[in-house]
């Protein structure tokens, strides 16, 4: 999906499929980890531009597996 590299401006995430780049320092640290925000932005880019989905599959909720008090 992307690789992590360094340039003169700091740490960047580079898309494997195109020249798209996310600069970690461009994100606001007051709303959370810059690295996490950049990774989410790159995931959104991959999904929107390249049709790449998450490698994780959602687990369906099965209420029958939960213990119910009698």
Under the banding of pLDDT at 50, 70 and 90, the label for residue 12 is very high
What are the pLDDT digits (tens) for 26-62?
999 999 999 999 999 999 999 899 887 665 555 666 6
DSSP string, 22-63: EEGGGS-GGGS-HHHHHHHHHHHHHHHHH----SSPPPPP-G
**Model pTM score:** 0.69
Q: When comparing pLDDT for 62 and 4, which is higher?
A: 4
pLDDT above 60 for 14: yes
Q: When comparing pLDDT for 63 and 31, which is higher?
A: 31
Contact of 69 with 42, CB cutoff 8 Å: no
Contact of 11 with 24, CB cutoff 8 Å: yes
CA angle 2/11/51 to nearest 5° reads: 20
């Amino acid at each position: 999906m992307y690789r992590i590299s360094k340039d003169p401006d700091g740490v960047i995430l580079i898309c494997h499929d195109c020249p798209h780049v996310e600069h970690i320092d461009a994100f606001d640290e007051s709303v959370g980890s810059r690295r996490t925000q950049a990774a989410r932005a790159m995931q959104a880019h991959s999904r929107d531009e390249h049709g790449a989905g998450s490698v994780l599959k959602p687990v369906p909720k099965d209420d029958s597996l939960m213990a119910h008090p009698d």
